[in-house]
Amino acid sequence: MKVELKLIVLFQVLFVLKSFYKVPKDQIAKGITDLLKYKGIVIKNKTMIRRMMEMWYNKKLDIVDCYLIAILESDSQNLLYSYDRDFDKFNINRKEP
């Protein structure tokens, strides 16, 4: 049996665990990363989600920023329009609007 994990549900789980239950970031990152190893868990772009979790664990970044960076790293054709120069620390294309 396979179960599809929608990205929006993953973000909600992260938010609730961190903000409401006060679960430490390292435990959340490890738990989600371990969950993604199950063959029965289907999620689009599993590799990109793993990269997002790795960045979120290792950097002082918001999970949404990690998601954007992971997407942009996986496709050099992508372009991020943002005034946030912190994105320049990563290998992505950013332009100010």
Residue ranges in the chain assigned as alpha helix (H): 7-15, 25-35, 46-58, 63-74
Burial environment of residue 67 by CB neighbours within 10 A (0 to 12, 13 to 18, 19 or more): buried
Residue 75: the pLDDT is 84
CB-based contact 25:56 (threshold 8 Å):
yes
The span from the CA of 37 to the CA of 21, in Å, is 24
Residue 95: the pLDDT is 94
Structure tokens at 27: 């435990």
Residues of the chain with pLDDT under 50: none
Interacting residues of 56 by C-beta distance below 8 A, sequence separation 6+: 25, 29, 63, 66
